[in-house]
Chain A
Amino acid sequence: MSWVGSAVKRVEDPALLQGKGQFVDDIHLPNMVEAAILRSPYAHAKVGAIDASEALALPGVHAVIAHADLPTELQAQIPLLVPNPAIHYPVMQYVLAKDAVRFAGEAIAVVVADDRYIAEDAAERIIVDFDPLPAAGDFRAALEPGAPTAHAERDDNVAAAFSQAYGDVDAAFANAAHVFREELFQHRGAGHPIECRTMLAAHDPVTDTLTIWANTQAPHRLRDVYCRMTGAADNQVRVISPDTGGGFGSKVQAYPEHMAIAAAATQLGRPVKYIEDRREHFLATHQERDQLWDLEIAVDADAKILGVRGKLLHDSGAYLPWGIITPFISASTTPGPYVLPTYKLDVTCIFTNKVATTPVRGAGRPQATFAMERLMDRVARELDLDPAEVRRRNYVPAAAMPYAVGLTFRDGSPVVYDSGDYPACQAKALDLADYDTFRAKQEAARSEGRYIGIGVASYVEGTGLGPFEGATVKVTPGGHVIAQIGASAQGQGHRTMLAQIVADRLGVTPEDVTVTGGNSADLAHGIGTFASRVTANAGSSAHVAASNVREKILKIAANLLEASEEDLDLEGGRVFVKGVPEMGKSFGEIAVVANGMPGFSMPDGISVGLDDTTYFKPERSTYANGCHVAEVEVDIETGNVAILRYVTAHDCGTIINPMMVEGQVAGGVVHGIGNALFEWMRYDEGAQPTTVNFGEYLLPMATEMPTIEQTHIESPTPLNPLGVKGAGEGGTIPAAAVIASAIDDALRPFGVKITQVPVTPEYLLDLIAQRRND
């Protein structure tokens, strides 16, 4: 049997269920001290003298470290890792604020004490000479002439500008039967994993090596950034990402705090731990926040799309730690599953005095999908067609795969959809949702004064992007099968997924495979866990590496058993002659041979060691897709939206573990529902955050969430040996679009049209009142 494709129970679970996980805050090193961080109370201010004398006088305080106390190499900005010529002003955050702060929450000083309680007491006693400056708050207002600038040395707030375009869009509009325009405001909040950012750094003076335990999604990148800044060699720095309580994008970046805590540990010669609290997470962990889309669609008389054009404003925040990647992905996602002959989007990225924005689960795609799907709904409404039918008329047909969209992705390669059957995916979703019988149900509900509606939305998602991710598979003389990857897990179940893949190649069970990940010392290179890329890349690497180990086992065994390789089989940790299990060798015995004997030459044609390291490098991204259908009920008195049913049809290519894929989709959908209805990171006009706890910022909770009904299609990709595509973000991407679609449908008697997410009760009541007054 094959382990790939079966719902194997997770190897991660037993420890986590007994409180035996190892999260960063669970690690306690001898001599360890704890840090608190003094953060700016102002959104924008000059920073003058810092007086820490009262803090230092407090018993139990070991150090207060501000910008000037850092080693010179770290008195610097975090490097911009993804430069782009579209960036006007490539400005990054200093490790600790130098002479200015540009968002409320920017780190100014690290306070180290015996414990966190004392460190926080001390932080309160530090006196900073601030000179407040006017702040750039709302990103739209920040573009107005004369608006306060987020960086005092700049004349405007334009961080970057670029266009994504192909075809003659203006000609398409000139010849169109219909043109419709929408202005759409979209807010996405933040990732908010339940575990905030955590880090622990320890410097070993004997070997002059630094170890950083951090719940990062990209341990190698954190190592590389630290090395690049300090000049350390990469074998002097090890980053370990142990068990991690969720990420969703928020833990991808190498943050200033990582560098500051590493510096504190090195300076003090003691391990220093820093555990972010939730309020700090609201202030200083990257978010995705605001976009404004002003978009037009041109269609012919049959509702076939001729072109889409418009403008996108993107709130970058104060710095550009991930360049312009989020808006770039947005601009490249708009065409979605549709044949879009012409397209032009002009994108402006805007500095504000708020924490930087970087990708959150979905990474700019939910907004593009919302924009495109709102246009499709608008076409359906104006031409009086079924929204599902309008989509069907425009889907890229399965026969057109591979399909070149016309766009160029940020790595310069063309956007080419590799496989998928979008009409079939929609058909599956509609079928499961009983779409055909909904109108009768809706009519019956309306006659009782209830407003129910159905929505539909499709998306295409670039996943599994390069450049590479690596895996080592090895068999030890003790017979242990080990798989190591560089990428770290935040709950996805990497260990189970990899164990399934390796077990299939080596004829063992998943429990026989020990999987580790997230330790930068295990593999020389790594990129990280984001963009739904680990199964496609590290999974493929593990598959290839395990296949290579398998070949080597066969080769050595053939030699020892004087049999031909074709006559051998692998099972239960042994290699043996087919049908004659006693004529065989254990994996351990093979490993002994492969590891060599002191003083003897290696056997002919055998390379050293029963292991293989492979870095799978995909040629380009592979495109997953899906279709969601939601049924909602709107209470027109309270503005409350209840989700009655939520159906997904999901295609992520070959499925390794259906249970885990369904878990990813369900979690993703609920995150998307949070974006659609609840989550709003608010700031006042002066860029002061006003939602800094879970009472003010609402997460989706079990009580309001529906059961997610799922169906799947498998369109394997030809771009990797497993045929897999990413599954971690697809649930989130169309959620806001489908809920807006369903709300519109429910409120059709009022002619309400959703042009904002989240759809709050106040917003909805306003819309209903407006339409009633019209």
Chain B
Amino acid sequence: MTDRMTISLTVNGDAVSREVSVRMTLADFLRHELGLTGTHLGCEHGVCGACTILMNGRTARSCLTLAVQADGQSIDTVEGMADGDDLSPLQQAFIDQHGLQCGFCTPGMLATITELLNTNPDPTEHEVREWLSGNACRCTGYQGIVDAALAAAKTLQGKVP
């Protein structure tokens, strides 16, 4: 069995092709091979959610996903969320609602909430909290994060919060 493989995928809309070690995680591939260090590792065992990215629009733990599993897939990371210098409504809501302190859990939170708002554009606070059950934050007590998700939902629906 060969221990290296060439993979081709889309990352934040750009086509990428690389030869990687078959045991390299997707997180390490993004961080170290592509230099997309916005994706963070908090536990490397699939519980904390810091490493969450979007694969074909659905959340995935990049610490538990191998880079080779992303072959042919479309990946979105925190680096692709803003439009140039213009922050997305969700990013802006994190600033306005104080949804981050150290910012380490934040990229995973953004990915997770992006999926939520795509599937449920007008969630209740309870639904937001349930949805975040797989993302740990040690700084904020979650309050600012929940408020940011709710505020972003309003903005995205055209209701000014």
Binding site for B on A (CB under 8 A): 9-10, 12-14, 16-21, 23, 25-26, 28, 117, 191-196, 243-246, 248, 275, 277-279, 490-493, 659-660, 662-663, 666-671, 693-695, 699, 701-703, 705, 707-708, 731
Instruction: Please name all residues of chain B whose beta carbon is closer than 8 Å to the beta carbon of A20 when the two chains form the complex.
Output: 38
Residue contact A667 to B94, C-beta cutoff 8 Å: no
Q: Give complex CA distance A25, B130 in Å.
A: 31
Q: Give complex CA distance A18, B94 in Å.
A: 11
Q: Which of A666, A694, A699 contacts B140 (CB 8 A)?
A: A666
Query: Most A CB atoms within 10 A — which of B47, B48, B138?
Result: B138
Residue contact B45 to A693, C-beta cutoff 8 Å: yes
Known: A194-B42, A195-B102, A694-B47. A701 touches B141 (CB 8 A): no
User: Beyond A194-B48, A663-B143: 4 further Cβ-contacts under 8 Å?
Assistant: A18-B91, A245-B102, A694-B43, A707-B125
Instruction: Please name all residues of chain A whose beta carbon is closer than 8 Å to the beta carbon of B139 when the two chains form the complex.
Output: 246, 491, 663, 667
Q: Which of A13, A14, A194 contacts B137 (CB 8 A)?
A: A194
Chain B min CB distance to A140 (Å): 30
Q: Give complex CA distance A660, B21 in Å.
A: 44
Chain A residue at minimal CB-CB distance from B95: A13
Chain B residue at minimal CB-CB distance from A493: B101
Chain B residue at minimal CB-CB distance from A673: B141
Chain B residue at minimal CB-CB distance from A694: B47
Q: Give complex CA distance A642, B122 in Å.
A: 25
Instruction: Please name all residues of chain A whose beta carbon is closer than 8 Å to the beta carbon of B134 when the two chains form the complex.
Output: 701
Q: Which of A192, A246, A279, A702 contacts B146 (CB 8 A)?
A: A702
Query: Most B CB atoms within 10 A — which of A493, A703, A731?
Result: A703
Q: Give complex CA distance A195, B101 in Å.
A: 13
Binding site for A on B (CB under 8 A): 21, 23-24, 31-32, 35-45, 47-48, 50, 77-79, 81-82, 87, 91, 94-96, 98, 100-107, 110, 125, 128-130, 132-146
Residue contact B98 to A243, C-beta cutoff 8 Å: no
Main secondary structure of the interface of B (DSSP, over half): loop
Chain A min CB distance to B150 (Å): 11
Q: Give complex CA distance A537, B140 in Å.
A: 23
Instruction: Please name all residues of chain B whose beta carbon is closer than 8 Å to the beta carbon of A699 when the two chains form the complex.
Output: 48, 136, 138
Chain B residue at minimal CB-CB distance from A695: B47
Instruction: Please name all residues of chain B whose beta carbon is closer than 8 Å to the beta carbon of A25 when the two chains form the complex.
Output: 31, 37, 41
Q: Give complex CA distance A695, B125 in Å.
A: 25
| 19 sampled A-B residue pairs with Cβ under 8 A | A9-B95, A13-B95, A17-B87, A17-B110, A117-B23, A194-B104, A194-B136, A243-B103, A245-B42, A246-B101, A246-B139, A491-B139, A663-B139, A663-B140, A667-B138, A695-B45, A701-B142, A702-B129, A707-B146
Chain A min CB distance to B107 (Å): 6
Q: Which of B38, B102, B133 contacts A491 (CB 8 A)?
A: B102
Residue contact A702 to B101, C-beta cutoff 8 Å: no
Residue contact A278 to B43, C-beta cutoff 8 Å: yes
Q: Which of B39, B42, B125, B129 contacts A19 (CB 8 A)?
A: B39
Residue contact A18 to B79, C-beta cutoff 8 Å: yes
Main secondary structure of the interface of A (DSSP, over half): loop
Chain A min CB distance to B111 (Å): 11
Residue contact A708 to B143, C-beta cutoff 8 Å: yes
Q: Which of B40, B47, B142 contacts A245 (CB 8 A)?
A: B40
Query: Most B CB atoms within 10 A — which of A10, A244, A246, A731?
Result: A246
Chain B residue at minimal CB-CB distance from A16: B103
Q: Which of B35, B47, B98, B141 contacts A708 (CB 8 A)?
A: B141
Instruction: Please name all residues of chain A whose beta carbon is closer than 8 Å to the beta carbon of B95 when the two chains form the complex.
Output: 9-10, 13-14, 17
Residue contact A9 to B96, C-beta cutoff 8 Å: yes
Residue contact A193 to B136, C-beta cutoff 8 Å: no
Query: Most B CB atoms within 10 A — which of A13, A196, A669?
Result: A13
Chain B residue at minimal CB-CB distance from A705: B142
Chain B min CB distance to A610 (Å): 31
Residue contact B32 to A28, C-beta cutoff 8 Å: yes
Q: Which of A19, A193, A666, A694 contacts B78 (CB 8 A)?
A: A19
Instruction: Please name all residues of chain B whose beta carbon is closer than 8 Å to the beta carbon of A275 when the two chains form the complex.
Output: 41
Residue contact B136 to A694, C-beta cutoff 8 Å: yes
Residue contact B132 to A192, C-beta cutoff 8 Å: no
Instruction: Please name all residues of chain A whose beta carbon is closer than 8 Å to the beta carbon of B102 when the two chains form the complex.
Output: 193-195, 243-246, 490-491
Residue contact B141 to A670, C-beta cutoff 8 Å: yes
Q: Which of B48, B82, B101, B141 contacts A18 (CB 8 A)?
A: B82
Residue contact A21 to B38, C-beta cutoff 8 Å: yes
Instruction: Please name all residues of chain A whose beta carbon is closer than 8 Å to the beta carbon of B87 when the two chains form the complex.
Output: 14, 17-18
Instruction: Please name all residues of chain A whose beta carbon is closer than 8 Å to the beta carbon of B24 when the two chains form the complex.
Output: 117
Q: Give complex CA distance A312, B32 in Å.
A: 49
Known: A17-B110, A18-B79. A195 touches B40 (CB 8 A): yes
Q: Give complex CA distance A23, B50 in Å.
A: 14
Instruction: Please name all residues of chain A whose beta carbon is closer than 8 Å to the beta carbon of B103 when the two chains form the complex.
Output: 12-13, 16-17, 21, 243, 245, 491
Chain B residue at minimal CB-CB distance from A666: B141
Chain B residue at minimal CB-CB distance from A275: B41
Residue contact A492 to B101, C-beta cutoff 8 Å: yes
Instruction: Please name all residues of chain B whose beta carbon is closer than 8 Å to the beta carbon of A671 when the two chains form the complex.
Output: 138, 141
Instruction: Please name all residues of chain B whose beta carbon is closer than 8 Å to the beta carbon of A194 when the two chains form the complex.
Output: 40, 42, 48, 50, 102, 104-105, 136-138
Q: Give complex CA distance A26, B107 in Å.
A: 14
Query: Most B CB atoms within 10 A — which of A17, A21, A662?
Result: A17
Q: Give complex CA distance A492, B91 in Å.
A: 19
Residue contact A702 to B144, C-beta cutoff 8 Å: no
Residue contact A23 to B37, C-beta cutoff 8 Å: yes
Chain B residue at minimal CB-CB distance from A192: B138
Q: Give complex CA distance A731, B143 in Å.
A: 14
Instruction: Please name all residues of chain B whose beta carbon is closer than 8 Å to the beta carbon of A660 when the two chains form the complex.
Output: 98
Q: Which of A191, A245, A705 contacts B104 (CB 8 A)?
A: A245
Residue contact B42 to A195, C-beta cutoff 8 Å: yes
Q: Give complex CA distance A196, B63 in Å.
A: 15
Known: A16-B106, A245-B103, A663-B98. A703 touches B130 (CB 8 A): yes
Chain A min CB distance to B32 (Å): 7
Residue contact A662 to B98, C-beta cutoff 8 Å: yes
Instruction: Please name all residues of chain A whose beta carbon is closer than 8 Å to the beta carbon of B38 when the two chains form the complex.
Output: 18-21
Q: Give complex CA distance A106, B101 in Å.
A: 31
Chain B min CB distance to A8 (Å): 11
Chain A residue at minimal CB-CB distance from B149: A702
Chain A residue at minimal CB-CB distance from B147: A707
Known: A9-B95, A18-B87. A669 touches B104 (CB 8 A): no
Residue contact A13 to B100, C-beta cutoff 8 Å: yes
Chain B min CB distance to A304 (Å): 36
Q: Give complex CA distance A18, B146 in Å.
A: 19
Known: A18-B38, A117-B23, A490-B102. A703 touches B132 (CB 8 A): yes
Instruction: Please name all residues of chain B whose beta carbon is closer than 8 Å to the beta carbon of A703 when the two chains form the complex.
Output: 129-130, 132-133
Query: Most B CB atoms within 10 A — which of A9, A10, A19?
Result: A19
Residue contact A13 to B94, C-beta cutoff 8 Å: yes
Q: Give complex CA distance A693, B44 in Å.
A: 10
Residue contact B140 to A693, C-beta cutoff 8 Å: no
Chain A min CB distance to B101 (Å): 4
Across the A-B interface, the 5 shortest Cβ-Cβ residue pairs: A19-B38, A491-B102, A245-B104, A16-B103, A666-B141
Chain B min CB distance to A346 (Å): 34
Chain B min CB distance to A697 (Å): 10
Q: Which of A243, A694, A702 contacts B45 (CB 8 A)?
A: A694
Q: Give complex CA distance A12, B94 in Å.
A: 12
Chain A residue at minimal CB-CB distance from B146: A702
Instruction: Please name all residues of chain B whose beta carbon is closer than 8 Å to the beta carbon of A669 when the two chains form the complex.
Output: 141
Instruction: Please name all residues of chain A whose beta carbon is closer than 8 Å to the beta carbon of B48 when the two chains form the complex.
Output: 194, 278, 694, 699
Chain A residue at minimal CB-CB distance from B145: A702
Residue contact A693 to B43, C-beta cutoff 8 Å: yes
Chain A residue at minimal CB-CB distance from B102: A491
Chain B min CB distance to A712 (Å): 15
Q: Give complex CA distance A153, B18 in Å.
A: 56
Residue contact A19 to B77, C-beta cutoff 8 Å: yes
Instruction: Please name all residues of chain B whose beta carbon is closer than 8 Å to the beta carbon of A278 when the two chains form the complex.
Output: 42-45, 48
Chain B residue at minimal CB-CB distance from A244: B102
Instruction: Please name all residues of chain A whose beta carbon is closer than 8 Å to the beta carbon of B107 when the two chains form the complex.
Output: 19
Chain B min CB distance to A627 (Å): 18
Q: Give complex CA distance A705, B132 in Å.
A: 11
